[in-house]
Amino acid sequence: MEGPKPPKPKEEGLPEIRFPKFIEEITEKINLTKFFVVLTELMKKFPTINFGEALYKLTEAFKNKKGLLEEASDIIDQIHLLYFKFKLGIEEISTILKERIIKFLKEANIDFERGEIKPEVAIFFLGLLILVALVVGFGNFGIGQVHKLKELEEAFKRILEK
């Protein structure tokens, strides 16, 4: 994964950016390493998707619905198994998980692609899961899922490189 470009010299005439101080405090407790890198890559890959909204809805869904969280954990397990153990491609994985992913997205009120699960959507979904897990997952996910985050991140990087 190429990652975002390094900071450029400030464009002339632009105001200084005020970076929020709360991010520093949050990073003392939550691991945000790679969060913005993964988000930047996803936004480049899927420029028409409203990531703010999708992330927000997924985060809320993870936070408030116990059943949904379990479902998400289970889907992560399944993606992990299919990708690493059975070495399936993302296209095959998306076909296998189609129904579950549609159901999950509907429960999280995310209605994009009109129910059509394309490989791109599966990648998008995998990326979002990584992001959400990085931010809110450590308190909620089972230990098994937390250990898998690094591998999922690796899988995601490889998918983006294709």
Note the residues at the interface with another protein (CB under 8 A). 3-8, 11, 13-27, 29-30, 32-37, 39-40, 43-44, 50-53, 55-56, 59-60, 63, 135-136, 139
Distance in Å, CB of 11 to another protein, minimum = 7
Give me the least distance between CB of 62 and another protein, in Å please: 9
The CA-atom distances, in angstroms, between 100 and each of 9, 40, 55, 119 are 46, 27, 19, 14
Q: Kindly tell me which of 4 and 115 has the beta carbon lying closer to another protein.
A: 4
In the bound state with another protein, the residue whose beta carbon lies nearer, of 16 and 161, is 16
CA separation for the pair 152, 145 (Å, rounded): 10
CB of 82 or CB of 132, closer to another protein: 132
Rounded to a whole number of angstroms, the minimum distance from the CB of residue 142 to another protein is: 17
CB of 99 to another protein, least distance (A): 27
CA triple 107-157-3, angle to 5 deg: 105
Judge whether 83 and 148 are in contact, CB under 8 Å.
no
| Inter-residue contact 160 to 124 (CB < 8 Å) | no
Q: Of 60 and 113, which has the nearer Cβ to another protein? A: 60
Mention every residue, 6+ apart, whose C-beta is less than 8 A from residue 105.
111, 112, 125
